[in-house]
Amino acid sequence: MMGDLLGIALILLSLPFFIASTVGLLRFPDVYARLHALTKADNVGLGLICLGLAVQADSVAVGLKIVLIWGLLLLASSTGATLISTSALRHGHPPRQRNDVDKHAGR
């Protein structure tokens, strides 16, 4: 009973992180800032979901498998973000500099 409540609380706690990453994806100016928002916030949100599911798991083995899945997804998302940012850089999309943002904002 207590494990179920903790699991539900962890899963619900992940929602603000997914919302923040979605807002970052829609609002940030370039691919690098968007990737940063997605990889950081989504990985924390996914970690909270995996921990919530692991707490609710019937056995320790199932809980460890869920945590292993999270670790593999961390590896996959960081590899994907690296590939996307390298491709963007090769195709002529340099990271924005601080003065570029100030010019864009009309300052």
- Note down pLDDT in tens along the chain; length 107 residues: 788 899 999 999 999 999 999 999 899 988 998 998 888 888 999 999 999 999 999 999 999 999 999 999 999 999 999 999 999 999 988 888 777 655 555 55
Three-point CA angle 81, 15, 80, nearest 5° = 10
Residue pointed to by tokens 């609380």: 9
pLDDT score recorded for residue 29: 87
Per residue in 13-35, pLDDT tens? 999 999 999 999 899 988 998 99
- CA-closest candidate to residue 66, choices 20, 15, 18, 10: 10
Q: Classify residue 59 as exposed, middle or buried by CB count within 10 Å of its CB (0-12, 13-18, 19+).
A: exposed
pLDDT score recorded for residue 2: 82
